Amino acid sequence: MITVPVRLSERAYDVLVGAGARHRLLEVVPVGAARAAVVTQEAVGVAVDTGVDQRVFVIDEGEEAKCLETVEDLCRRFARFGLTRADVVVAVGGGVVTDVAGFAAAVYHRGVAVIHVPTTLLGQVDAAIGGKTGVNLPEGKNLVGAFWQPVSVLCDTEVLATLPEREYRSGLGEIAKYHFLERDSSTPLADLDLDEKVARCVAIKAAVVEADEREETGRRATLNYGHTLAHALETSGRYDLRHGEAVAIGLCFAARLARRLGRVDDDRVADHDRVVLGYGLPTSVPPGHHPDDLVRLMARDKKALTGYTFALDGPKGVEVVAGVEREAVAATLAEVAS
């Protein structure tokens, strides 16, 4: 078992990574908790034992479940269960579950402890780590949310063996992102086994979160590398893409945009394509896309400060770059069109 600490003063916690990590749940339930609300989805099929009076709360499948209606429904069911501020919410599932359950925990009684047991690769390397919770609006992804750190995260790599192939590949899109956020490692991310790879991604994210927990300096926004186009692709509803697949395309787009702005050279763009293709992920926008719609949606991304704002690679690594002109965005989008 690998332990990765997230050092956030009084909000510090450990992420446990390895086969069977979910069975350590009894050890991390807060002392004094009498009830546990286990939030999951029917398709997850992973049982957990909290060691206290627990009730399972099933939410709908798919990204559509990431909405305010789901949060309200959960909070009302928590109240009927008798959940108090001294109790705990346990999120068992992928990014949709940890985002929704984490947000519900953040707002119910103005804050109830939450433990994440991510059951997807994407959840283990990214979504369940760092305390960002939220739901979508019709106008965009994750526009309503809160910072609410878990008290523990249990990344049980054993459960990944049952994931559908495409769901597993979606997680690889986030791992591809971490190739370009990692600095000065003696062992490349690609050369690690699964447990070590998950732990390395968690450690990279933890370091960024520790430096900028609430996105006050711009450092944490670099974790959204590749996500501006990815969110536009997802929000448009026109494409059959999983999140990690959209991120993979977004990484290739961001590399080309950085080249257009003189931040990176052809070799660095080729590195992005090599990593993305190495994980069997797409590098271009699917056919039938509507470039004007995607350009418009990228301007509405919640991380936009003034005009077009992107996390872009450069001589000092990935940084937040504001004030990118629309013409550069549109021209780069044409480069990644099938």
Write down the pLDDT at residue 183: 73
- Measured distance CA(161)–CA(166) in Å, rounded: 12
| Overall pTM > 0.85 | yes
For residue 148, give Cα distances in angstroms to 28, 196, 237.
Answer: 17, 26, 29
> Where residue 244 sits, what CATH number does that domain have?
1.20.1090.10
Q: Are strands 2-6 and 140-147 parallel, antiparallel or unpaired?
A: unpaired
Q: What percent of the chain has pLDDT over 70?
A: 97
Tell me: pLDDT of 196 over 60: yes
The total number of structural domains that make up the chain: 2
Q: Is 220 a catalytic residue?
A: yes
Residue 101: predicted pLDDT? 98
Tell me whether residue 110 is one of the annotated catalytic residues.
Answer: yes
- The conformational region for residue 29 under phi > 0 = left, psi -120 to 50 = alpha, else beta, is beta
Catalytic residue at 174? yes
Per the residue annotation, which of 231, 259, 272, 289 is the catalytic one? 231
Beta strand spans in the chain (E): 2-6, 13-17, 35-41, 53-59, 88-93, 113-118, 132-137, 140-147, 152-155, 308-312, 319-324
Known catalytic membership, residue 272: no
Is residue 92 domain-shared with residue 235, that is, in the same domain? no
Of 138, 162, 186, the domain-final residue: 162
Do 211 and 329 lie in a common domain?
yes
CATH number of 117's domain: 3.40.50.1970
Q: Is the pLDDT of residue 306 over 60?
A: no
Residue 231 appears among annotated catalytic residues: yes
Asked whether the predicted pLDDT for residue 303 surpasses 60, the reply is no
For residue range 39-52, list pLDDT tens digits in order: 999 999 999 999 99
pLDDT digits (tens, 9 = 90+) for 123-158: 999 999 999 999 999 888 889 999 999 999 999 999
* Distance between CA atoms of residues 324 and 312, nearest Å: 11
Residues 172 and 109 in one domain: no
Asked whether the beta carbons of 336 and 248 are under 8 A apart, the reply is no
- pLDDT above 80: residue 338: no
The residue annotated as part of the active site, out of 174, 213, 234, 245, is 174
- 8 & 20 share domain: yes
Q: Which of the following is catalytic: 22, 179, 220, 256?
A: 220
Q: pLDDT tens for residues 255-299?
A: 999 999 999 999 999 999 999 999 999 999 998 878 889 999 998
215 is catalytic: yes
| Segments forming the whole domain that contains residue 109 | 2-162
Give the per-residue pLDDT at 90: 98
Kindly name the residue from 227, 256, 259, 289 that is annotated as catalytic.
227
Identity of the amino acid at 215: E
Catalytic option among 205, 219, 242, 256: 205
Among residues 134, 162, 190, the one where a domain terminates is 162
Residues 227-239: tens digit of each pLDDT: 999 999 988 888 8
What's the rounded mean pLDDT across residues 171-193?
89
Instruction: Spot the catalytic one: 35, 66, 116, 132.
Output: 132
pLDDT, tens digit (0-9, with 9 covering 90-100), for 45-103:
999 999 999 999 999 998 899 999 999 999 999 999 999 999 999 999 999 999 999 99
pLDDT for residue 59:
97
**Do 138 and 208 share a domain, yes or no?**
no
pLDDT mean over 148-172: 96
Residues 101 and 6 in one domain: yes
pLDDT for the residue numbered 301: 59
Answer yes or no: do 206 and 329 share one domain: yes
184 and 309 share one domain? yes
The mean of the pLDDT values for the chain is 93
Give residue 218's pLDDT: 85
pLDDT band at 304 (very low <50, low <70, confident <90, very high): very low
Query: Is residue 224 among the annotated active site residues?
Result: yes
**Is 211 in the same domain as 131?**
no
Indicate the residue among 162, 178, 199 that finishes a domain.
162
Question: Are 281 and 152 in the same domain?
Answer: no
Residues 157 and 169 both lie in one domain: no
Both 128 and 206 in a single domain? Answer: no
77 assigned to active site: no
